[in-house]
Chain A
């Protein structure tokens, strides 16, 4: 008789608990909605969600939590280290660093989210219709998107900034124009597979127009990955804006954004001796983008139907 010793693994113990719950007829506790419960069990996603929410709320209620006007120049308080007066010290012209970061968040988040949503609106609408219809229009727009995406985005942005000039609005328009390609292709890919579903054929049998079928009936099913992509695009645009503003090519310097606050770090002296001017901002950018990425990962895991558990 062959036997082997059955060790009780931690998996086994988990199973025992579930079995006991089933047999004693306890009702299913916790959250019923599977997507929500999966999202909340992903600790990183929760941390990201909390952090990002705090930052967004802070930037909205900025006037309530900042003592100083971020634009106010105070030549008597140049480059002062953190103190009870200025929590994060002052910058090269005496402006309160803390206030600049909070107010700067407004613009950075606006640019990031705004561009992501703008790119999504264009990319998703076009992708939904052409992906569903197919034919020559689909091929044409596909080629156009490939051309746009073939350019390194930074180069394209620099080119357009040089042509259109620097301003907040221009930057958002440029980001949208260069960034719609990714979402277009993703939406199109979703539509290509979803349009073969039987309920789509049933709708065709009713003579509904392609427009109606693709937008009203099929697109809602494609939204899962699209939402994930929007969150991750936001992160990407924030980083891009920061990068450009750091180089002085993004939002003009008079409007504070995280990127152009960081701009001062080009000066080696500031970098070495006056850490409070650039390190908090750099940390804020990193943590915020990381937080968004965690949220995106959590969203993706929770909406993916193939993952077990």
Chain B
């Protein structure tokens, strides 16, 4: 898996802050630090899982990559055939060119499609913009896309409300594919689906990835799904990555106390795998007022004075060629 080590996307110290405004004159009184210093390299062809609970910043990070939300600081470098470009520095013309390559699939099958248009209507606009001039050609391409997601060509003339949630999600995937991207951000793409439909969509995603040599950033809060789907997994907490490792390494040998607690908290549908739960104190924190030092220290059973002052950095603890990074002062 790691022999194809070309980096497709490099994130350097990315921060996305949202200003909090109060008062008649909308003074900025603080910031929501949704993404707070993320360094990450994404390899072409891999599936990178991005997990965490609410408020950890995973969705904001996904949207910052696609420039749907403007990052406040940092570099987002996209590597396209050895042409490296910092996405934050591009103007709208150049960005439009890049947008072909980076796409997104959303969570909610009910609002992810325009109810006023047929499937054809929704999908043909991007094709028009990117130069597919003839209507017949557009119909052909959309028909091919629907077949690629295991639906029928004729369904392109139906309206979203005539489809089930799982089918709508597949149309969303077809839409992301329509101008031939390199990387797709899947933002909780299966979370709103019924369990048995989730499996169908996951299989479909795997198939498409192999056929088209795609790279996935798979954002979710469901660790069981992420384990199954990802090559590498990054665990986020309050805007920072606290652990990053190969999927098997993370599950067998989690290093960061938060990851360990997270893994133990998940209800597992297997009677033989029920294990001792590590119970975390307190609540998921508020990104407006993050704790000092290590963001996890208020809930950590191992925290000491050092944790309140010093932010731990991601350090590689792995002995072989695959990295296993974790940000904690007390890993031996």
Contacts and interface: CB of A to CB of B under 8 A. Distances in A.
Interface of A: 197-199, 201-208, 212, 216-217, 220-221
Nearest to A221: B116
B66 A205 contact: yes
Contacts of A216: 125
A245 B106 CA distance: 56
Contact of A199 (B95, B103, B122): B122
B321 interface: no
B68 A217 contact: no
A201 B106 contact: yes
Interface string B110-143: 0111111100001001100100000000000000
Nearest to B181: A205
26 contacts: A198-B107, A198-B111, A199-B114, A201-B68, A201-B106, A202-B104, A202-B106, A202-B172, A203-B125, A204-B68, A205-B66, A205-B68, A205-B103, A205-B104, A206-B125, A206-B126, A207-B92, A207-B95, A207-B96, A208-B125, A216-B125, A217-B116, A217-B117, A217-B125, A220-B116, A221-B114
A220 B116 CA distance: 6
Query: DSSP majority for the A interface?
Result: helix
B99 interface: yes
Interface in B68-99: 68, 92, 95-96, 99
B108 interface: yes
B152 to A, nearest CB: 22
A206 B179 contact: yes
B33 interface: no
Contacts of A207: 92, 95-96, 99, 129
Contacts of A204: 68
A220 B175 CA distance: 20
B104 A201 contact: yes
Contacts of A201: 63, 68, 104, 106
Given A199-B114, A204-B68, A217-B114, 17 more contacts: A197-B111, A198-B111, A198-B112, A201-B104, A202-B104, A202-B106, A202-B175, A203-B125, A205-B68, A206-B125, A206-B179, A207-B92, A207-B95, A208-B126, A216-B125, A221-B114, A221-B116
- Which 3 A-B pairs have CB atoms at the shortest separation, nearest pair first? A220-B116, A207-B96, A207-B99
B197 to A, nearest CB: 18
Please indicate which of the listed interface residues B96, B114, B129 has the most CB atoms of chain A within 10 Å of its own CB.
B114
A208 B129 contact: yes
A222 to B, nearest CB: 9
A81 to B, nearest CB: 56
A295 B115 CA distance: 25
Contacts of A202: 104, 106, 112, 172, 175-176
Contacts of B66: 205
B294 to A, nearest CB: 33
A75 to B, nearest CB: 60
A206 B129 contact: yes
Interface in B149-207: 172, 175-176, 179
Contacts of B63: 201
B99 A199 contact: no
Nearest to A212: B125
A221 to B, nearest CB: 5
Contacts of A198: 106-108, 111-112
Interface string B220-234: 000000000000000
A212 B114 CA distance: 14
A138 to B, nearest CB: 14
Nearest to B126: A206
Contacts of A197: 111
A54 to B, nearest CB: 33
A208 B117 CA distance: 16
B265 to A, nearest CB: 29
B129 A199 contact: no
Contacts of B117: 217, 220
Contacts of A199: 111-114, 122
B323 to A, nearest CB: 30
Contacts of A212: 125
A226 to B, nearest CB: 13
B235 to A, nearest CB: 25
Contacts of B122: 199
B108 to A, nearest CB: 6
A205 B112 contact: no
Contacts of B116: 217, 220-221
A193 to B, nearest CB: 11
A205 B99 contact: yes
A175 B81 CA distance: 60
Interface string B305-331: 000000000000000000000000000
Interface string B46-82: 0000000000000000010010100000000000000
A206 B106 contact: no
Contacts of A208: 125-126, 129
B132 to A, nearest CB: 13
A212 B66 CA distance: 20
A178 to B, nearest CB: 29
A217 to B, nearest CB: 6
Contacts of B108: 198
A144 to B, nearest CB: 20
Contacts of B125: 203, 206, 208, 212, 216-217
A199 B96 CA distance: 18
B75 to A, nearest CB: 20
B135 to A, nearest CB: 16
**Counting chain B CB atoms within 10 Å of each CB, which of A199, A201, A208 scores highest?**
A199
B74 to A, nearest CB: 20
